[in-house]
Structure 1
């Protein structure tokens, strides 16, 4: 899962000059967030979040990293035999 973090504060076009976008940019400047977290924190639609990500990516203002997959405890018993065979 990709995480995004803001590298520098952008000059926003009129479309993104609402307080909800500014709050989201403030969050992105302090910590890396995935799309789902951005949607949840801001209340924006998924399409609006993707549009903001696309704009910031085009301006080269986002640092993109891969979040390691978290293994849930429900998948753990299924993976245990695989791990034991490797050892």
Structure 2
């Protein structure tokens, strides 16, 4: 899965000067972001976001990379309540 980041702030045509696009640009200016996160942040469809990313790529301000590993959310979902088991099995002192 790919992640995207801005290498520079683009001059956008009027069609892209909306809040949804500004949100995506802001997120990509902070670091690499997967497509799904851009879709959630903007509220736009996946296809519209892909077209926008293609526009940024043509302008030469978009960097892409393959996602490094499994997202933290998926790691935690694979081990539900692991943090709770560690907490419960810890040493307890009796209450008086």
Measured against the shorter chain, the TM-score band is 0.7 to 0.9
Give me the CA root mean square deviation: 1.7
Matching residue of 1:39: 39
Query: Quick check: which has more Rg, 1 or 2?
Result: 2
State the aligned residue count.
74
What is the DSSP-based 3-state SS (H/G/I as helix, E as strand, rest coil) of the residue aligned with 1:3? strand
Matching residue of 2:50: 50
Do residues 59 (structure 1) and 85 (structure 2) align?
no
TM-score scaled by length of structure 2: 0.69
Higher RCO by CA contacts (8 Å cutoff, separation 6 or greater)? 1
Matching residue of 1:80: none
Matching residue of 1:11: 11
Q: Which runs of 4+ in 1 moved over 6 A?
A: none
TM-score scaled by length of structure 1: 0.76
Contact 2:23 2:41 in 1 (8 A): no
What is the DSSP-based 3-state SS (H/G/I as helix, E as strand, rest coil) of the residue aligned with 1:65? strand
Q: Which structure 2 segments of 5+ residues have no match?
A: 80-96
